[in-house]
Structure 1
Amino acid sequence: MSERSGVFDMIGPVMIGPSSSHTAGVVKIAQMAVRVLGGIPEQAEITFYNSFARTYEGHGSDRAVIGGLLNFATDDKRIKNSFDHAKEQGFEYSFKSIGNASTMHPNTIKIEATKGEKKALIIGESRGGGVIKITNVNSFDSNFSGALDTLIIQAEDKEGSIAFISSVLSQECNIATMFVSRKGKKQMACQVIEIDHKLNQVTIDYLKSLSWIYDIIYIPIIS
């Protein structure tokens, strides 16, 4: 933010326009899907909700989400021609729109992506200024932004699991936020943990080696 003669100008993200909500935020949500999937998808189904459902074509959100799924940065000029790049790479996709999802944020996207046998589901909100909020990962509720390094851990819902994982991480980094959801008591649980700096691979490998932890996804900051 800068000030000129008492007038404040908001400095937004470096991006391909026209709008940070409709392009930069959309690209980042798609980039998050790439990271959860573990690579650029071969197929994807993208659903736009509420105001996005009515405006995604005119505001370029369709090109932005495909650009993000191709792992283009928010300021990558290729976003304008992302459909052509997707065709060149054999990436298949489809769009759906639902304009009356009253329980969802006005600018919400769901991405269901596949690569080989791997699948990923992301629901994200584009909240303005390039800021995003991921509200669901692989059918587990979540609440994170990608502004910090993030761990997504699927594990048994067993006594002491949260305390144990927190103890391991505390030896190396500070936990900024933690969000836990589960399918039911003593069933599968998902911990989404934002941390203040990069985690060493040896720590991730140790957690992966535990029999009651089924999957760990480590996502560095999405800038």
Structure 2
Amino acid sequence: MKYRSVFDIIGPVMVGPSSSHTAGAARIGLMAGKLFGVTPEVIHVTFYGSFADTYRGHGTDVAIVGGVLGFDTFDDRIPESIKIAESKGIKIVFETSEALTDHPNTARVNLKAGDETFELVGISIGGGTIEITELNHFPLRLSGGGPALVVLHHDRFGAIAAVTRVLADHEINIGHMEVSRHEKGKQALMAIEIDDRMPREVLEEINRLPQVERSVMIGE
């Protein structure tokens, strides 16, 4: 893995105790919450590997819930995130699994609001850095070595061209790109690794595209 600066090695500004079990978990939750786009009624988290063994002691549980609520790694509200969520009427469910995964720090986050559901599988690879390996049952292979744009969109003619045109207009170079769909004309996914961090106004421009449901950055 390539580090962009010494701060990637030291880790992010965060509420402790662990960059991988707390900060990374918060970022997994934050990614899930941003992509879901609405306040969930249920947050169901399954922990695997070392996450399953230590999630209470290392604050992985409160970190993921805090992330879903929109709390970043340095937010002082993270230790109280479960109480905050429950005060909003959100049901919290934690479970562990002995299933083998590719990485020991793996969590599956399932969010529900009304009839809408969303699922994301993320791993914390250290120093607060995460990878998303599955999103709404779409497999991902993002390297985690740099910034990446994840776009949920309608499977329509011109959707991919519209997103890449915005990137080109802002002179943002694509290093790797994957596109996938489950069914013609339904929800589809773009995962785009880019060379440099993308300005927030560019992300907002992409989110205004009529074909796009939601998009977020990993590694911003």
TM-score class, shorter:
0.7 to 0.9
Aligned residues: 208
- 1:27 paired with 2:26, answer yes
Gaps of 5+ in 2: none
Gaps of 5+ in 1: 3-9
Q: Give the Cα–Cα distance (whole angstroms) in 1 for the partners of residues 43 and 205 of structure 2.
A: 32
TM-score normalised over the length of structure 1: 0.78
Moved more, 167-176 or 28-37: 167-176
Secondary structure of 1:86's aligned partner: helix
- 1:83 paired with 2:73, answer no
Q: Give the Cα–Cα distance (whole angstroms) in 1 for the partners of residues 102 and 156 of structure 2.
A: 28
The match for 2:58 is 59
Looking at CA atoms only, which structure, 1 or 2, has the larger radius of gyration?
1
The match for 1:111 is 109
Which amino acid letter does the alignment assign opposite residue 114 of structure 1? Answer: K
Q: Give the Cα–Cα distance (whole angstroms) in 2 for the partners of residues 187 and 84 of structure 1.
A: 37
Within 5 Å, give how 1:197-216 maps onto structure 2.
Answer: 197-198=198-199, 199=202, 201=204, 204-205=207-208, 207-208=209-210, 213=211, 215-216=212-213
Secondary structure of 1:127's aligned partner: strand
The match for 2:138 is 140
Q: Give the Cα–Cα distance (whole angstroms) in 2 for the partners of residues 51 and 203 of structure 1.
A: 37
- 1:219 paired with 2:184, answer no
Q: Give the Cα–Cα distance (whole angstroms) in 2 for the partners of residues 192 and 116 of structure 1.
A: 27
The match for 1:12 is 11
Q: Give the Cα–Cα distance (whole angstroms) in 1 for the partners of residues 207 and 119 of structure 2.
A: 22
Given that residues 157 and 182 in structure 1 are in contact (C-alpha distance below 8 angstroms), is that contact kept between their aligned partners in structure 2?
no
Return the offset for 1:172: 3.2
Give the direction of change, closer, same or farther, for the CA distance of 1:126–1:95 in structure 2 (3 Å limit).
same
Identity %: 39
- The alignment yields a C-alpha RMSD, in angstroms, of 3.0
Secondary structure of 1:193's aligned partner: strand
Return the offset for 1:20: 0.6
The match for 1:38 is 37
The match for 1:71 is 70
Given that residues 11 and 127 in structure 2 are in contact (C-alpha distance below 8 angstroms), is that contact kept between their aligned partners in structure 1?
yes
Aligned counterpart in structure 1 of residue 128 of structure 2, from 120, 127, 130:
130
Q: Give the Cα–Cα distance (whole angstroms) in 2 for the partners of residues 168 and 78 of structure 1.
A: 36
Q: Give the Cα–Cα distance (whole angstroms) in 2 for the partners of residues 87 and 161 of structure 1.
A: 38
Q: Give the Cα–Cα distance (whole angstroms) in 2 for the partners of residues 75 and 87 of structure 1.
A: 21
Return the offset for 1:221: 5.8
Return the offset for 1:193: 2.2
Return the offset for 1:68: 1.3
